[in-house]
């Protein structure tokens, strides 16, 4: 078997950092970037508020359904335990 020659790694690591294309973040001014970040934060806050509102509505609906069931004699009779000796 013939030995393969080892090549020294080319100094491409430094050249790659300099040859990177400009990103949108680099091209935008800082005030435009700050406005975009603020708008994104507002959107996240609005989404969180909407989810919280939906959760509260679902909880209220569940409580209303439970109150309705508590007043329904048939439901209570079907879901009660049949061991009446405990309550003597």
Instruction: Transcribe the chain into DSSP letters.
Output: -PPPPPPPPPSHHHHHHHSPPPPHHHHS-HHHHHHHHHHHHHHHHHHHHHHHHHHHHHHHHHHHHHHHHHT-HHHHHHHS-S-GGGG-
The rounded distance, in Å, linking the Cα atoms of 64 and 70 is 10
Question: What six digits make up the tokens of 86?
Answer: 């405990």
What's the whole-model pTM score? 0.52
What is the model's pLDDT at position 75?
A: 86
Indicate the domain borders of the chain. 31-80
Highest mean pLDDT among 4-8, 15-19, 23-27: 23-27
The rounded distance, in Å, linking the Cα atoms of 37 and 58 is 32
Mean pLDDT of the chain: 82
């Amino acid at each position: 078997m013939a030995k393969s020659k080892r090549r020294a790694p080319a100094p491409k690591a430094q050249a790659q950092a300099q040859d990177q294309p400009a990103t949108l973040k680099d091209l935008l001014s800082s005030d435009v970037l700050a406005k975009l970040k603020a708008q994104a934060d507002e959107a996240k806050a609005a989404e969180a508020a909407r989810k919280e509102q939906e959760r509260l509505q679902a909880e209220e609906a569940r409580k209303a359904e439970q109150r309705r069931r508590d007043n329904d004699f048939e439901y209570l009779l079907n879901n009660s335990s049949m061991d009446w000796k405990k309550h003597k």
